[in-house]
Amino acid sequence: MDRRAVYKTAWIGSLLLAPQLLLVFTFFYWPTGAALFWAFTLERPWGGGNEFAGLDNFRMVFSDTAYWGAVWRSMVFALGSTALAMGLALLFALFCDRQLRGYKAYQTMLIWPYAVAAPAAGVAFRFLFAPEAGIFAALNKIHPEFWNPSINGIHAMILIVVAYSWKYLAYNFIFFLAALQSIPRALVEASAMDGSGPLRRMWDIQLPLLAPTLFFLLVINITDSFVDSFGIIDLTTGGGPSKATTLMVYKIYFDGFKGLDYSGAAAQSIVLMLLVMGLTFVQFRFIERRVHYR
Amino acid sequence: MIERTPVLNLVTHAVLFIGLAIAFVPMWLVFVAATLSLQEINTPPISLLPGSHLWENLAEAWTRADLGVKLTNSLIMSVAVAAGKIALASITAFALVFFRFPGRMTAFWLIFITLMLPLEVRIVPTYAVAANVFSPYQTILDVTGLSWLWQQLTGAELALEWNLLNSYTGLVLPLVATATGTFLYRQFFLTVPEELMEAAKMDGAGPMRFFREILMPLSITNMAALFTIMFIYAWNQYLWPLLITTDRTHRGTAVMALRQLIPMSGDSTGGGVPDWNVAMAGCLIVVAPALLVVALMQRFFVRGLIASDK
Amino acid sequence: MADIDIRSVRKAYGKNQVVHGVDLSIRSGEFVVVLGPSGCGKSTLLRMIAGLEAITAGEIAIAGDVVNNLEPRERGCAMVFQNYALYPHMTVAENIGYGLKVAGLSKPERTARVETVAKSLGLSEYLDRKPGQLSGGQRQRVAMGRAMIREPKVFLFDEPLSNLDAKLRVQMRIEIRKLHNRLGTTSVFVTHDQVEAMTLADRVVVMNGGHIEQVGTPEEIYRNPASRFVAGFIGSPPMNLFDGRVTGPGEVQAHGIVLSVPHAGLKPGRPVTIGIRPEEVVLGAAGSNVASIDVDFSEELGSVRLLHGQVAGADFVIQVPATTAGPKIGRFSFEVPARAVHLFDAETGNRIGTAASGARAAA
């Protein structure tokens, strides 16, 4: 990326960078630093002093079974939604890329769900899966309590996984399709000349070449499932029933803003940050390798 | 390619049709629900064909959630976020790609590290900053003793305060303060042939002129892509507006307004079964602008998503 | 119009030196072509003249003024880039006139001058088009127009023809030379194509590895290459080069073949590189300096035929008229006229002069 043609007027360059640096400092570095500060101190929510608490906040968080419950549920949610959203997206993208008649229409329609706000998707699926009015309502008539996410925790988890995956299916589809389209046609044609059929080509040529995209999306999906699930949960299950859908982000919000336990919420934030950073780090390293791969 | 695979073609169409159904049927059922009366909707099985109550449901949702104000707020926020991103991202990327000066790489990393942590995971302290944007600077001045010095010199206490709660600025700024668009613009600028800048130099144009007259017009598509994804991103925000706007009647956004149509456990409405037909009508109204933007700008939307790698 | 003086100019990127002390004087109104393989520093030299690249050491003066610290726009140079670097969002007219706009000329004045330039380049019909709608040759003309309109003191060309197809390249080559004949502006033209260099240049500068190997008219460079590098680089097919040694006064030997040469003062036993142009040998045995070649492949090029084979085990190419009768493959005898033998020092690669040419080569 070393360019030979550049400007060397340092003051103009610095001036151009100033606004973003200022914003990033105010709304990113300072809050992140504050989270660290709070995580290691004990503070009264609205004013009052704060004292150094060492790792006490973390000890408190880690000894709380409710926290481990949230971690466990976040993992279930991450794996469930990622598997569902990526698996289906890959299948649809591979078939769409065969470019049979009408593929453009499929392509267009499969992108739209990503434009739907997560909370709106949540509300929609809450209705679709509502025990009294949704698609399972008829079955509930025959067999009461066959399906009821407002009472049954597993049903509630399935509900948010499905609603979330519906939106991310579109996201993954966009990326898979773009990656497939960037595979040189000549490769696929060469494989056809070698005598392989469409399915064999998918397996032998397209899937291996999709590996970088697969990996990239895997990381993105898991990361996003940790951070982007709030809207769906809040409007679909409200974390319930009896905390069955309280994931990590939701718990941070709940402890911080409803419970006013800033220190505990900060400690939880730090744990989540480390988790997300770890995942992103893996991805950055991987992207570097991808450059060599090309 | 000439290929006779009738069975596989059939399977392909079947699979894609299922995909289409997965994407489309939920939207269709939401639409149908928005056309039914309360009684119809609570009578299983779920209806697959629209009824006749669409307009009254839309009107009811509109007044119940005060959607006129909310949609306006959402629109203001989304346009401001998108425009702000474009302005900020383009000048930052311009400095990073086309200038060489000491500290540039440090700035580069300071900005790009922000891609690692989404707003949601640092939501509590960010909220605290929004309550007073100057609090970081006040703290710095206090700790370094500069405010004490100021007080000694002028006799007045130094108290910086700028509260962003319930303001558009507060809605917008933290959403703008990330590196998403900067990354996208940087990628684009790196593809601009170096000779173009050299030609501009030979033509006698300085850096700002080159930026304004050559780079900006060239990046129109890029701009459209960034605008589309940032508009959608901002429109669909939920957690941040929920926190920053305590005055929900005047400053709430459309997506937040869904709360008013759905009884929340713990809210004053006290749980229970919502009026699904009105709720779904509200859902339609809230989602429509974003869907419209994506439908019209699909090419840019896809391009923006892929180029920014989020 | 202006002369250009390049005095001990060096360019280094960190520790990596790409131009090692170049001295060159370009006379006012001269058309100089800088020729060399890729990576020889020729483009860097051009860009230092333009002011796009800082000069690490040494001086460049245009029309007598040292320009080391001047910005590109202050140097009075115009440049045509390899990929043309046309602004894709501007029309042809806007592209050509952009330099004038930056300089603050009024719109009517700009329009008038753009029209004049466009007319002289045959672009009048295309003024409203965008570069994307033009053919390669038309884009090339727009790039030239953009350079011409400012009536610069110096034209700089950075491989401007390399993106064109063969036919268009010949045509544009002629147009560029005609333009120069008409305007008489000092021009520096960088290329790796020897045909371009030979046909365009008043003088050719051959560069290799950051050094100037030779400066001279096309004829001088072809007739009396100053080094083994120039000898091998100029000429198509290239000169046959092989190692040998001096065996007596006016006599060299390689692979058992003895050649008498006009060079004087050769020390017996001195290792030399012997160079023979494929087109300067005479097929058929007559006189002295006779050798034989085993031809295993012959190439028809229309007017001439190339015979590829081995002379005493070393690869050798001979060029004969295509009308030459007889078999095309097999063993042939040929004569090397003594004046057609070039000798280079085996160690330094420098030309060893003959009594006649020595004086000229040294100058």
Helix H, strand E, coil C: the string for chain A is CCCCCCECCHHHHHHHHHHHHHHHHHHHHHHHHHHHHHHCEEECCCCCCEEECCCHHHHHHHCCHHHHHHHHHHHHHHHHHHHHHHHHHHHHHHHHCCCCCCHHHHHHHHHHHHHCCHHHHHHHHHHHCCCCCCCCHHHHHHCCCCCCCCCCHHHHHHHHHHHHHHHHHHHHHHHHHHHHHHCCHHHHHHHHHCCCCHHHHHHHHHHHHHHHHHHHHHHHHHHHHHHCCHHHHHHHCCCCCCCCCCCHHHHHHHHHHHCCCHHHHHHHHHHHHHHHHHHHHHHHHHHHHHHHHC
Examine residue B284 and state whether it is found in any structural domain, yes or no.
yes
pLDDT in tens, A258-274: 777 777 888 888 888 88
Highest mean pLDDT among A81-90, B263-272, C353-362: A81-90
pLDDT for res B171: 85
In degrees, to the nearest 5, what angle opens at C-alpha C188 toward C-alphas C185 and C192? 145
Angle (deg, nearest 10), helices A153-182 and A65-96:
40
| B chain contacts of residue A272, beta-carbon cutoff 8 Å | 121
Radius of gyration of chain A (CA): 24
What average pLDDT does range C25-43 have in this prediction? 93
**Shortest CA distance from B127: residue in chain A:** A31
**Domain range enclosing B234:** 55-308
Question: Is the Cβ pair A117, B255 closer than 8 Å?
Answer: yes
Tell me, rounded to whole angstroms, the distance of Cα C161 from its chain centroid: 13
pLDDT for res C361: 39
| B chain contacts of residue C86, beta-carbon cutoff 8 Å | 199
CB A16 within 8 A of CB B94: yes
| A chain contacts of residue B104, beta-carbon cutoff 8 Å | 13, 17
**Domain range enclosing A133:** 59-293
Confidence tier at A46 by pLDDT (50, 70, 90): low
Q: Is the pLDDT of residue A294 over 50?
A: no
Output the CATH code of domain C4-228.
Answer: 3.40.50.300
Mean pLDDT of chain A: 82
Cβ–Cβ contact B216 with C under 8 A: no
DSSP symbols for B76-135: HHHHHHHHHHHHHHHHHHHHHHHB--TTHHHHHHHHHGGGGS-GGGGHHHHHHHHH-TTH
Output the CATH code of domain C237-362.
Answer: 2.40.50.140
Examine residue B37 and state whether it is found in any structural domain, yes or no.
no
Interface confidence, given as ipTM, is 0.85
Q: Is the pLDDT of residue A45 over 60?
A: no
Counting as contact any 3 or more CB pairs under 8 A, the partners of A are B
Mutate which of B5, B85, B237, B238 to test chain A, going by most A C-beta atoms within 10 A? B238
CATH number (domain holding residue B114):
1.10.3720.10
Mutate which of C43, C74, C89 to test chain B, going by most B C-beta atoms within 10 A? C89
State percent of chain A over pLDDT 90: 14
Specify the higher pLDDT residue, C206 or A63.
C206
Examine residue B71 and state whether it is found in any structural domain, yes or no.
yes
Q: Is the pLDDT of residue A56 over 70?
A: yes
pLDDT for res B9: 84
pLDDT for res C151: 87
pLDDT in tens, C100-120: 888 888 999 999 999 999 998
Question: Is the Cβ pair C52, B198 closer than 8 Å?
Answer: yes
The CATH 2.40.50.140 domain(s) of chain C lie at 237-362
pLDDT in tens, C288-315: 788 888 999 999 988 999 999 998 888 8
Confidence tier at C213 by pLDDT (50, 70, 90): very high
Q: Give me the number of domains chain B comprises.
A: 1
Specify the higher pLDDT residue, C5 or A200.
C5
Question: Which residues in chain B (168-207) have CB-CB distances under 8 A to chain C?
Answer: 193, 195-196, 198-199, 201-205
Task: Identify the three-state secondary structure at position C8.
Answer: strand
Going by C-beta distance under 8 Å and a sequence separation of 6 or more, which residues neighbour residue B110? Answer: A21, A24, A29
Q: Give me the number of domains chain A comprises.
A: 1
Examine residue B25 and state whether it is found in any structural domain, yes or no.
no
The DSSP output letter for B215 is I
Strands A41-43 and A50-52: antiparallel
Confidence tier at A98 by pLDDT (50, 70, 90): confident
What average pLDDT does range A177-199 have in this prediction? 79
- Mean pLDDT, consecutive 10-residue stretches, chain B (310 aa), reads 76 88 87 82 75 82 84 92 93 92 87 80 81 80 79 76 80 86 86 88 89 91 89 89 80 84 55 77 90 87 71
Confidence tier at A82 by pLDDT (50, 70, 90): very high
pLDDT for res C265: 75
Question: Is the Cβ pair A116, B118 closer than 8 Å?
Answer: no
Q: Is the pLDDT of residue C358 over 50?
A: no
Specify the higher pLDDT residue, A4 or B105.
B105
Examine residue B150 and state whether it is found in any structural domain, yes or no.
yes
pLDDT for res A4: 64
Structure tokens at A234: 């809040």
pLDDT in tens, A215-234: 888 888 888 888 888 888 88
State percent of chain C over pLDDT 90: 50
Q: Is the pLDDT of residue C87 over 70?
A: yes
Examine residue A170 and state whether it is found in any structural domain, yes or no.
yes
Q: Which helix (H) or strand (E) holds C32?
A: strand C31-35
Confidence tier at A1 by pLDDT (50, 70, 90): very low
- Nearest by CB to B202, from C78, C82, C89: name it: C78
CATH number (domain holding residue A278):
1.10.3720.10
Structure tokens at B38: 């309360």
Cβ–Cβ contact A88 with B under 8 A: yes
Cβ–Cβ contact B212 with C under 8 A: no
Specify the higher pLDDT residue, C361 or C215.
C215
